[in-house]
Amino acid sequence: GAGVSQSPSNKVTEKGKDVELRCDPISGHTALYWYRQSLGQGLEFLIYFQGNSAPDKSGLPSDRFSAERTGGSVSTLTIQRTQQEDSAVYLCASSFGVPDTQYFGPGTRLTVL
């Protein structure tokens, strides 16, 4: 079946602009996660959804970052007033339950100029 998909695959933006990153989890997966992969920080957890609620937002680096999930499916990660340090690959993962294997999408490479 289809895996986790993310769009866009690449995003180049100017400092100060807002960006939205989209994640489509595997159908039927109730849990959804966002991570960030950057050269300096490695792989970092950002936020976790169970259904439409986010019981763990502890990894969001600042209030410029927010995420929502609707219909227990698609999720959008929004970064407001982007900064150069936001440049990274943003990864989405989903799982059927907890604990369960997290299946990762291909990521969105964000470059902030």
Partner 1 sequence: AQSVTQLDSQVPVFEEAPVELRCNYSSSVSVYLFWYVQYPNQGLQLLLKYLSGSTLVESINGFEAEFNKSQTSFHLRKPSVHISDTAEYFCAVSRLGAQKLVFGQGTRLTINP
Binding footprint of partner 1 on the chain (CB under 8 A): 31, 33, 35, 42-45, 48, 50, 56, 58-59, 91, 93, 98-99, 101-107
Give the shortest CB-80-to-partner 1 separation in angstroms: 23
Output 30 or 66, the one with its CB closest to partner 1.
Answer: 30
What is the Cα–Cα distance from 23 to 12, expressed in whole angstroms? Answer: 18
Give the shortest CB-43-to-partner 1 separation in angstroms: 4
Q: Any bridge partners for residue 84, and if so which?
A: none
Give the shortest CB-88-to-partner 1 separation in angstroms: 14
Output 41 or 81, the one with its CB closest to partner 1.
Answer: 41
Start-to-end Cα distance in the chain: 37
Give the shortest CB-14-to-partner 1 separation in angstroms: 26
Output 4 or 79, the one with its CB closest to partner 1.
Answer: 4
What is the Cα–Cα distance from 104 to 18, expressed in whole angstroms? Answer: 24
Residues sharing a CB contact under 8 Å with residue 63, sequence separation 6 or more, in sequence order: none
Q: In what order do the strands lie in the sheet with 65-69?
A: 5-7, 19-24, 75-79, 65-69
